Amino acid sequence: MKLLTVVGEGAFGKVFLAKIASTNKYYGVKMLQKHRLIERQVDLDYAKFEINVMKDMKHPNILGIDFVRQEDYYIYLILPFSDGGDLSKCFKEKVRANEKKKFKGVDLTEEQILFWALKIIKAVGYLHSKNIVHRDLKMANILIDTHSDLKVCDFGLAYQFKTDSETQNLPCGTPTTMAPEVINKQPYRMMPDWWSVGIILYEFMNHITPF
């Protein structure tokens, strides 16, 4: 497999576009650096959980995983490649292109917004039906391909509740999309994800986050 170019970067490593020459197939390769996981006091179970969620999820709007490779220093998550990148980049490009036409914003139709909203809501509902809260839903964690198909990705902060009454109070996520109860370290279950979906929809309509 040949790593071609960097398409994303995060806390624990980079994401590459890669190609297998023998099959001519493209993949997204998320490379996690083991020492960075350990430095940040997150043990390797963090990566195992992210991998297991992606393996278990069978939904058209949730990014799956093709295979995993492990070396001494790295864990490679070999993912289906979304050729439109993530929604945050896609929006920035649209805004830039429109600014040249002297129009500030993204010219999304109401139909387009509804079409995407439905896909995101279905994906989140599916995750919740498996007792999993994503905890970092935002534009950068939703991938898009050339057919305008959306895939929720990045399960690095996801958590699976063991029982129906269990709650969490760990404050995690991205400040602009975090629900008040998460920021205030109050007990929560799935609700914070719906807050984040609301922020994403606001962003679709207004091209900025409300907070």
Ligand X SMILES: Nc1ncnc2c1ncn2[C@@H]1O[C@H](COP(=O)(O)OP(=O)(O)OP(=O)(O)O)[C@@H](O)[C@H]1O
**For binding to ligand X (CB under 6 A), which residues are involved?**
7-8, 10-12, 15, 28, 30, 63, 79-82, 85-86, 89, 140-141, 143, 153-154, 156
CB of 11 to Mg ion, least distance (A): 8
Among 82, 141, 177, 196, binds Mg ion (CB under 5 A): 141
- Select 99 or 175, whichever has its Cβ closest to Mg ion: 175
- Residue 81 site contact among ligand X, Mg ion, none (CB < 5 to 8 Å, cut-off depends on kind): ligand X
Residue nearest to ligand X (CB): 10
- Select 18 or 154, whichever has its Cβ closest to Mg ion: 154
CB of 13 to ligand X, least distance (A): 7
With a CB cutoff of 8 Å and minimum separation 6, the contacts of 200 are 87, 120, 137, 138, 139, 142, 177
Active site residue 164: no
- Residue 192 site contact among ligand X, Mg ion, none (CB < 5 to 8 Å, cut-off depends on kind): none
Given the rule CB under 5 A, which of 37-45, 97-105, 121-129, 151-159 is the region that contacts Mg ion? 151-159
Beta strands in the chain, from DSSP E residues, in sequence order: 2-9, 14-20, 25-33, 67-70, 74-80, 132-133, 142-144, 150-152, 159-160
**Cα–Cα dist 148/74, whole Å:** 32
What are the phi and psi torsion angles at 142 (to 5°)? Answer: -125, 120
Structural contact between residues 81 and 29, judged by C-beta atoms closer than 8 angstroms: no
Among 75, 152, 154, 204, binds Mg ion (CB under 5 A): 154
**Cα–Cα dist 80/90, whole Å:** 18
- Select 86 or 188, whichever has its Cβ closest to ligand X: 86
Conformational region of residue 30, where left means phi above 0, alpha means psi within -120 to 50, and beta covers everything else:
beta
- Select 88 or 98, whichever has its Cβ closest to Mg ion: 88
CB of 103 to Mg ion, least distance (A): 29
Q: Which residues, listed in sequence order, are joined to residue 15 by a DSSP beta bridge?
A: 8, 30
Catalytic residue among 56, 66, 136, 145: 136
CB of 67 to ligand X, least distance (A): 13
**Cα–Cα dist 32/11, whole Å:** 9
| Three-class secondary structure of residue 168 per DSSP | strand
For 97, the token pair is 């292109």
Q: How many CB atoms are closer than 10 A to CB 55?
A: 13
> Could you give the residue numbers annotated as active site?
136
Binding site for Mg ion (CB under 5 A): 141, 154
